[in-house]
Each structure stands twice: as structure tokens, then as C-alpha cells.
Chain A
Amino acid sequence: MNKEENLDHLSYEEAILELQSIAEEIEEEEISIDALEGKVKRSLALIRYCKERLRGTEKAIRDIFEEE
């Protein structure tokens, strides 16, 4: 998935800023129902990415592969 690759370069700051801006957009109801699905998916992707990074899961997995 293209979007997942983008996440590799996000810093914690960038991730939370993006999430906050999505929240604002949704609150102002500037999002159409069509775009809603995309935005919600993006939020979930951001959260998953951050959780993995916080817990080093991502890195641990990468390390395992590097050891191979």
C-alpha cells in the first residue's frame, strides 16, 4: 500500500499534526461522505504506525529480518 510507505518518514510530531488536522476537518464537516472513508483509514494507519514505533515493534521486526 502506497500510503504505508509514506509513513516511514513521518516523525512523531508530523503524525500527530496530521491526525489533529483530520480531526479538525471532520469536526468542521468539511469532509464529504466519500472522502470520509479515506480519512478514517488514514487515521487508523497513522495510529498503527505510531503504536508500533513507540513500542519498537517495527524496528524489532526489521532487526529480525536484518539478522537473516
Chain B
Amino acid sequence: MTDNQKCITYFFTECRIVLRFGHTISIIMQHLTLFELNELIKAALSEKLEPSYWVIAEIGELRMAQKGHCYLELVDKVEQSNDIVAKSRANIWSYAYRNISGWFEAVTGRQLQVGMRILANVQVQFHSLYGMSLNIRDIDPNYTLGERQRQRQATIERLKSDGVFEMNKALTIPLVPQRVVVISSAGAAGYGDFMNHIEGNEYGYQLNIELCNSLMQGNDAANSIIATLHQINNRYKNYDAVVIIRGGGAQVDLDCFDNYDLCTHLAQMPLPVITGIGHERDETIADMVAHTKMKTPTAVADFLIGRFVAYETKMMDNLHFISRVADRMIGNQTQQLSLYEKSIGLQGKSKLKSAALELENLQELVKRSCKQQLKDKFQFLLHREKELKFVDPDFLFEKGYSFTTINGIPLHKARQINHGDEMNTIGKEFAIVSKIIKAEKRDE
């Protein structure tokens, strides 16, 4: 409002005066100081309102101040949107804050933070200087827990009905996941541990790890991770798997991993996703939709190395098997050959032996035969000789026989012998010539 335009509205039970444009109409009326007005308001509130109310609201802002007091801004939004329909300042005094926040953390596992919907027991305060604010005297953590659970369940149901809940699990991780893209925060301890386990693996296996840096906690984490998933998606053929890791810690903020947008992107990745988000308690929805979930970044590293080990072991088993069977086959064949060799050798030898024997026998046979033949022949000759002796005229002459011819014809051949024929007789000593006196045939 400019100086020239002042519009003040007094509210009297009796009369109403409007002053405008510098004209002052002074009427003797009842008036209050601002302070008095505020006191009036304060009294009215005090009278009309209950000492406290249980209120559901969302924490729009939160900060800690000196002495441990907590100052908040509570908002009320239209369901599922960001339209604010109500807003109020609030505070928790330090003595109350210690108890409330401790109990809250114990039940929900998380600290009070912006974005949370809480069920708070508030006392309406009106202060002359600071206006209206709410004093939070208690917060029921079970509401927040229930709210969170409800939201989580709703997200899970939505992912299931979209048909994407099981999509990533349907993929297969290659036998040997050698090319891996990691979504993590570069300086995070989780990433460091992961890389140490991978690079320090005792087998000397080599993995190609590419890091895609992203915020892993806070309000912008979900969007940051989604952007990274997009980048990876554009060149998904360069990789075998996606790994999402972050370090654990006393109290981790895992809200982004229950985020619907993040989870639906994750579920629909064309590569299998392995999570190692490093928490002790519940599963996040990201863990549920991922292909494989491990507890910590080092567990993920061990899982990957384990695939290498399994592969190499299987290869070596096959090789050993082939080697054993081949050895056995060769052994059998060698044995066979050796047997043949022996057998042929033995048979050969025995054949030679029997041939030699046969030869010897033949030799003997021939020898004996010859001897016998010679003997026989000799005997024959000897016999003949003896026989011949008996027809040797000299032998006969010795015995007193003679050879006679009649007219030159040998006696045994003579047909007729007449008186006066000439007869020659040869004997041992004399050759006699005589004349026949008389010859008679001998008839038997």
C-alpha cells in the first residue's frame, strides 16, 4: 500500500469507520492498540480452543536452533499433489524434542525430516509479537510408520498392476558379468569398498567397471539416479549388468529407493540390476524389483567374482574330465597295441620255432633216407654181385661145369644132335674138341 492509500479496518461492535486517501475523519470511537488486539485474539483462542489437538500435517521445513529447540513449518497438501492448502509455523522445545525425536527414531528408524507426514499433538499459541504458532508436545511415530508402510504398499501394488514388478528378474545375468556399470557416489565408502574387493580379488580376474556418479541420498537422489539410468539405457549394449551401491551407516536415508518413479525405471531396465544398498533392516522397493539384491557393496563384489569362479571351475572340471577320458582311451589303445605286439611276437616266435623244428626233422629225414637208400642200393649191388658170381663161368668151371656147343650152337639151344657132330667143351683147364658118338633126348 502506498502512503496515500491507507486502509484500516476497525471492527467495533457498535460502529465502523473507514479512513481513506489521507482524509481523516476523527470520530470519538472505541479503539485498541495493536497489542491490546493481539491480547484479545489470544484470549479468544484460549477460550474457544481445546488445550491441544492431534493434527496430521507434513513437515515443510525443519531446523534446529540454539539450545536444542526445533522450529518447523507444517503444511497441508492436497493428496498426491504439491498444492498447499494450509501452512503453520511450529516448534518443539528442546526438552520435549529430545524425547520425541528419540522415540520417533526408535520406532520408525528414521529421524524427523522434511517431507514426512506426522501425527502431532499441538497446542495453539498466539504470541503478540510472533503471531500464531503451534507448539508440538508429542508426535505419534506409529502414524508416520503406518503412513510410510501404506505409501510403500501402494507403490508396490502400482508397480505390480503396471506389470513391471517382475520384469528385471526375468532377465538373465550373463555367465561372466565382465562389463559392469556402477551407479554410486564417487567418494562414498561403499564404492571404495566395492572397488577394493573387485580389484583385489585373489584370482586375478579383471572386470571392466564404469562408474556413473549420482546422488545417493537426499531429496534429489531419486531424480539423479533416474537420470543415470536413462544414460545407461542409451548404451545398454556396452554392459552386462548394472550395480547400484551405497555405503551403509548408522542411519541411512533409503526413501529414494521406495520412490515409484525410480523403481519403475529400474524394473524396466534392459540390463539386470544388482543392488547393494547397505542396510540392515527392511528391503526397499528397489531391492524387490531388482534382479538380485545383496546386503552390502562388498557382497555385490563377491557375488560378481563368484560368477567368474563358478565359470572357471566348470571349465576346468570339463577339461579335467576330457583329459581323464582321453588318457584312459589312449591307455586302452596302448594296452591293446602292446597285447597285439606281444601276441604277434609270441605267435611269430612259435611259428619260427615250429618251422625250424620242421626243417630239422626234414633234414633228419632226408639224412636217414639217404643213408637207407644208399644202404639198400649197396645191399642190392652186393646181392647182385653175389648172384653174378654164380653165373660167372670161372666160378662154374671151378665147380667142374663146362660150356658145350654143338656145331657152334650152344648145347641148350641145339635141336638135333647127330652122330659125328662136332662138340666143343670148355672147362676149367681144357678146351676139348670131340665128336658125338650118341645123343639121346632126355624125356622126364
Q: Do these two chains interact?
A: yes
Residues in A lying within 8 Å of B, measured CB to CB: 12-13, 15-16, 19-20, 22-23, 26-27, 29, 31, 33, 36, 39-40, 43-44, 46-47, 50-51, 53-57, 59-60
Contact of A13 with B174 at beta-carbon distance under 8 Å, contacts A36-B326, A55-B204, A56-B206 already known:
yes
Q: Closest approach, in angstroms, between the C-beta of A55 and any C-beta of chain B?
A: 5
The interface residues of chain B, by DSSP majority, are classed as helix
Q: List, in ascending order, chain B residues with CB within 8 A of A20's CB.
A: 318
| B315 engages A55 (CB within 8 Å) | no
Q: List, in ascending order, chain B residues with CB within 8 A of A59's CB.
A: 206
Interface size on B, residues (CB 8 A): 25
Q: Closest approach, in angstroms, between the C-beta of A49 and any C-beta of chain B?
A: 10
| B329 engages A36 (CB within 8 Å) | yes
Is B210 an interface residue when CB atoms closer than 8 A count as contact?
Answer: no
Q: List, in ascending order, chain B residues with CB within 8 A of A51's CB.
A: 312
| Alpha-carbon distance between A19 and B322 when the two chains are bound, in angstroms | 9
Contact of A26 with B325 at beta-carbon distance under 8 Å, contacts A16-B314, A54-B205, A54-B308 already known:
yes
| A26 engages B315 (CB within 8 Å) | no
Residue on B nearest A26 in the bound complex, by CB: B325
Q: List, in ascending order, chain A residues with CB within 8 A of B314's CB.
A: 16
Q: Closest approach, in angstroms, between the C-beta of B181 and any C-beta of chain A?
A: 17
Residues in B lying within 8 Å of A, measured CB to CB: 174-176, 178, 203-206, 208, 308, 311-312, 314-316, 318-319, 321-323, 325-326, 329-330, 333
| B205 engages A26 (CB within 8 Å) | no
4 closest cross-chain pairs (CB), A and B: A56-B206, A12-B176, A19-B318, A26-B325
Q: Closest approach, in angstroms, between the C-beta of A21 and any C-beta of chain B?
A: 10
Q: List, in ascending order, chain A residues with CB within 8 A of B322's CB.
A: 19, 22-23, 26, 39-40, 43
- The 8 Å CB contact of A16, one of B208, B318, B333, is B318
Q: Closest approach, in angstroms, between the C-beta of B143 and any C-beta of chain A?
A: 52
| B329 engages A50 (CB within 8 Å) | no
| Alpha-carbon distance between A24 and B309 when the two chains are bound, in angstroms | 23
Q: List, in ascending order, chain B residues with CB within 8 A of A19's CB.
A: 315, 318-319, 322
| Alpha-carbon distance between A59 and B206 when the two chains are bound, in angstroms | 10
Contact of A47 with B315 at beta-carbon distance under 8 Å, contacts A33-B330, A55-B204, A55-B205 already known:
yes
Q: List, in ascending order, chain A residues with CB within 8 A of B316's CB.
A: 47
Q: Closest approach, in angstroms, between the C-beta of A14 and any C-beta of chain B?
A: 10
| A12 engages B311 (CB within 8 Å) | yes
Q: List, in ascending order, chain A residues with CB within 8 A of B204's CB.
A: 55
